[in-house]
Amino acid sequence: MFALAWVCVALGVVGIVTPVMPGTVFLILAAWLFARSSPRFENWLLTHPRLGPSVVAWRENGAIPRWAQLVATGSMAGSFVLLVVIGLSTPVLAIIGTIFVGVSAYMLTRPTE
């Protein structure tokens, strides 16, 4: 779990600096994994000035920053358009579209910070 937590931290940092990957999700998962493998590193993540606030907000009240909601939803929409352009079959597009709509609906109904 400890090694996987660090992989999630790395993916979370990549997600912070790139618009196509959701960093906060990986940081929340890293905090969960650290809670089970290393309370010291869980505390480090939660108190980190750049990485911690979104994880703490999620833990306290399930909040997702509005900018993160919009970027994630926009990224899914852009990804879906790309999948249409590359010619995925209609059944596959329907499954992916349903997942994207469900995830977006969930995110957009969470409280904001």
Which DSSP state fits 20?
Answer: T
For residue 27, report the phi and psi dihedrals to the nearest 5 degrees: -70, -40
pLDDT digits (tens, 9 = 90+) for 52-70: 998 999 999 988 888 878 8
pTM: 0.73
Which amino acid appears at position 106 of this protein?
Y
pLDDT digits (tens, 9 = 90+) for 72-107: 888 889 989 999 999 999 999 999 999 999 989 998
Closest CA to 32 of 61, 55, 50: 55
* Residue 12 CA from chain centroid, whole number: 8
- Cα separation of 107 and 56, whole Å? 16
